[in-house]
Amino acid sequence: MISYQEKITFIPWLIFVFLFVMFFFMDGHNLSRPSQEKGSIEHEMTKVEDGRLDRRASMFLLFGFAVVSLAKRGTNRIRLSGFMGWLSIMFFMWAFYSLAWTDNLGLTARRVMVLFMLFTIGLALAERFSIRTLATWVFFATLGYALLGLVSEIAAGTFSPLDTEYRLAGTLHPNHQGINSALLIISGIFLTEHFQRFRKFLYLAIVGGIFLLFLTKSRTSFISAFAGISVYLSIRLSRLNKVAVIFTSVILLCLLLIYFGDTVFPSFQNAALMGREDSAETVQSLTGRVPLWKLCLSYVGKRPIQGYGFGAFWSEINMKKISASENWAIGESHSAYIELALGLGIVGLVFYLSLLIGGFVQSLLKYKNNQNSEFLYLGILLLFCIIDGFLESAIVFPSLIMLLCIIAFMKLGFITERRKKELFYL
């Protein structure tokens, strides 16, 4: 019997399918993508200056959906509350003000417009979806993208997991596929607490996600996911379960050392490399990132406060100059924080970092106050993004992971919590 204080929430499958299709195009998925696609400077310039028509179309459709959703459902639950709301506004306004000093007015204007659209989409989804519904969509979306990528590689004959140089790409770049696999694992672990009837399916999907994550050989996604999952389990597991997990891990490690001895230690380096045949010099430079970062930071030093304008640094001139210097096609800094410093200076970087770290801390505090694991899930997502942002730029470029960050900001800064308890049904 459902009490009058409880509200039944059904999964909005039609909206899920619509969002799945829209993000397929917005994230740049491509069913015919070779598993080891090599970029070119011309390709990078095209992405920056023009973009793909399907990505622009999906962005406008998502924005239209957000506007209609907000107009239809009203704004009763939207209230500016706390520092997360103010930080979100200040970050957007700083990006908007960068129009005054940008080196490329047209490019910055487009990027600011896209940022406004993403904030609107994030606000609409934060208002419409509970965190549990959001996690459900993220789980099914990333599972769908993973299966599409796996099938496309098998069909193209490029699926070669036994090849030491192979990296699973599917419909995306391997690093981005790694992010999706990590989101699949994190969301699946969270949902096991809420869909008990489907735990076997969820566990199977989690194991599959771990396998796919390993095949992408994305060290950044692996480390970020491991950190997030470790924090989640350390908080959610009972003290007895924690002791059992630690004790079992120690016993297995001791047995491994006893029975395999010296043969184990040479394997540690290979495990750290995720099976990638990288030289020591390549590893120390983080696959070419360190020299690139040094060069980018030299540009940051010339405009440390305001940057070059939101999204304006990677002009055709700078892309050609930096690509020629580093001897590979470059259209981004491969670090979200350096990317922010280039576009919006130290001020913009501080705003965005404050949103990420503040959102993580506030999520944990909300979980501590009411033991609602939904806020813990939100915090783990932000923790994943914080760590991933050191070596990847995805959280500051229009993508699924960036929108998840924005939804978290909106949930914590603008959306009032439901007072009624929700019963969640398929």
The predicted-structure confidence for 215-267, as pLDDT tens digits, reads as follows: 998 888 989 998 898 888 888 876 556 555 565 555 555 554 554 444 444 44
pLDDT tens, residue by residue, 143-174? 999 999 999 999 888 888 888 888 888 888 88
CB-based contacts of 134: which residues, under 8 Å, 6+ apart? 125, 404, 407
Residue 170 · residue 132 · CB < 8 Å: no
The residue among 130 and 288 whose pLDDT is bigger is: 130
DSSP 235: H
With 70 as the cut, is the pLDDT of residue 284 above it?
Answer: no
pLDDT on residue 9: 52
Computed over its alpha carbons, how large is the radius of gyration of the chain? Answer: 22
The larger pLDDT score, comparing residue 9 to residue 418, is at 418
Residue 46, pLDDT score: 53
Distance of CA 359 to the CA centre of its chain: 15
Length of the chain: 426
Annotated domain spans of the chain: 6-425
Cβ burial, residue 163 (10 Å; 0-12/13-18/19+): exposed
Distance CA 418, CA 271 (A): 45
**What is the overall mean pLDDT for the chain?**
82
Residue 384 pLDDT more than 80?
yes
pLDDT at position 4 over 50: no
pTM of the entire structure? Answer: 0.86
Per-residue confidence (pLDDT) for residue 92, from 0 to 100? 97
Tell me the C-alpha distance between 343 and 308, whole Å.
5
Count Cβ neighbours within 10 Å for each residue of 196-214 and write b for 16 or more, e otherwise. Answer: eeeeeebeebbebbbebbb
Specify burial of residue 101 (Cβ count, 10 A radius: 0-12, 13-18, 19+).
middle
Which residue has better confidence, 274 or 283? 274
Q: Are 310 and 111 in contact (CB under 8 A)?
A: yes
